[in-house]
C-alpha cells in the first residue's frame, strides 16, 4: 500500500493499544479492496484532546477500546440508539465535522451467534456483568431473545439484569438452568484463568449452543468441554471478526472482505 496525500486515515484509540489486532485486520481489508486508506494505533490518555484532534486532522473514523468506551460519550454529536442503551461506543465515524458514535460489539456477537441458531424467541444464559456482557445483552434483546443473567458477583448480576429488564440467578444455580445457548462474556478462560470454566462440564448438556467471547486461546477449556459434550460451539474469533467487519462497513459503505480479515486474525492470534 502506498501512503500519499490522498490517504484517508483511521485508527484505534485506547490505553494500551499496542496489543490490538485491529490495525492488522483493517489494513488487510483496505488493501484487499484497493482502498487508499490506512489504520493506525493511537495510545490516548486525554480523550477530549484526542477527539478534537480527529476533526482537526481529518481522520475519518476510529475504533474505541478500553478504557474510553464510556469516556467519549459527552463529546459525541450523535449516538446510535442501541449504543445509547448500552452506554458505551466502540466505533466513531467522523462525518461533516461531527462525531457519530456506534457500538458494533453487539452486532458482532449477534452475527456470530446467529450462525449457530435463531436468535428471535430463543433463551440465552449470559454469564458476566461487565461492558461486554451489557453490549451482548442489549443486542440479544434487540434481536428478540430472552435473557437470564448470572455472574460470580450477585450484586453485579442483579444490576445488569435490572438494566436489561431480564431475570438473573446466582452463579451457583446457573448449572441447573436449561437454555438454547450459553454465552461466556467474562475473562474466565484466558490468561491466568485459562484453566478455569464458568460452569462445570456436566452442566453444558443443558445448552445446545455454547459461545465464548475469549479468543486467546481460540479453543478455551469451556469450548473444548462443550464440543466434547456435543454442543455447537462459537469461538471468540467470530465476534472479534464481525464487530470489526461492522466497523469497516460503517466507515466505507462497502461489504467487508470477511475471509481476508479472518485469515489475518488467525495468523496473528496470540499462541499458547
Which is catalytic among the residues 37, 55, 69, 156? 69
Question: Look-up: residue for cell 484466558?
Answer: 190
Question: Look-up: residue for cell 448438556?
Answer: 205
Closest to 132 (Cα-Cα) out of 165, 156, 101, 100:
156
**If you count them, how many residues does the chain have?**
272
Q: Is 55 a catalytic residue?
A: no
Task: Determine the Cα–Cα distance for residues 27 and 73; give it in Å rounded to an integer.
Answer: 26
Please provide residue 30's backbone torsions phi and psi, each rounded to the nearest 5 degrees: -60, -45
Preceding amide of 128 cis, omega within 30: no
Please provide residue 27's backbone torsions phi and psi, each rounded to the nearest 5 degrees: -65, -35
The DSSP call for residue 201 is G
Task: Determine the Cα–Cα distance for residues 206 and 209; give it in Å rounded to an integer.
Answer: 9
Task: Determine the Cα–Cα distance for residues 182 and 190; give it in Å rounded to an integer.
Answer: 17
Q: How far is CA 225 from CA 171, 189, 212, in A?
A: 19, 12, 12
Question: Which residues are part of the catalytic machinery?
Answer: 69
Amino acid at each position: 500500500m502506498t501512503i500519499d496525500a490522498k490517504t484517508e486515515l483511521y485508527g484505534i484509540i485506547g490505553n494500551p493499544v499496542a496489543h490490538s489486532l485491529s490495525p492488522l485486520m483493517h489494513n488487510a481489508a483496505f488493501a484487499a479492496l484497493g482502498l487508499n486508506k490506512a489504520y493506525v494505533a493511537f495510545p490516548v490518555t486525554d480523550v477530549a484532546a484526542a477527539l478534537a484532534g480527529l476533526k482537526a486532522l481529518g481522520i475519518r473514523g476510529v475504533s474505541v477500546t478500553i478504557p474510553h468506551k464510556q469516556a467519549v460519550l459527552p463529546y459525541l454529536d450523535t449516538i446510535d440508539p442501541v449504543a445509547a442503551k448500552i452506554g458505551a461506543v466502540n466505533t466513531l465515524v467522523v462525518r461533516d465535522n461531527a462525531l457519530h458514535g456506534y457500538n458494533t460489539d453487539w452486532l458482532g456477537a449477534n452475527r456470530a451467534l446467529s450462525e449457530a441458531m435463531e436468535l428471535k424467541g430463543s433463551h440465552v444464559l449470559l454469564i458476566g456483568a461487565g461492558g461486554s456482557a451489557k453490549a451482548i445483552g442489549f443486542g440479544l434483546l434487540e434481536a428478540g431473545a430472552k435473557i437470564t443473567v448470572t455472574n460470580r458477583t450477585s450484586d453485579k448480576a442483579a444490576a445488569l439484569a435490572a438494566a436489561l429488564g431480564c431475570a438473573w440467578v446466582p452463579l451457583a444455580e446457573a448449572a441447573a438452568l436449561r437454555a438454547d445457548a450459553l454465552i461466556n462474556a467474562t475473562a474466565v478462560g484466558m490468561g491466568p484463568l485459562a484453566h478455569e470454566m464458568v460452569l462445570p462440564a456436566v452442566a453444558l448438556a443443558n445448552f445446545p449452543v455454547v459461545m465464548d467471547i475469549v479468543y486467546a486461546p481460540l479453543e478455551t477449556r469451556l469450548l473444548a468441554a462443550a464440543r466434547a459434550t456435543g454442543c455447537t460451539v462459537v469461538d471468540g474469533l467470530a465476534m472479534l471478526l464481525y464487530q470489526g467487519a461492522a466497523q469497516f462497513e460503517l466507515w466505507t459503505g462497502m461489504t467487508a472482505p470477511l475471509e481476508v480479515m479472518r485469515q489475518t486474525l488467525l495468523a496473528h492470534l496470540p499462541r499458547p
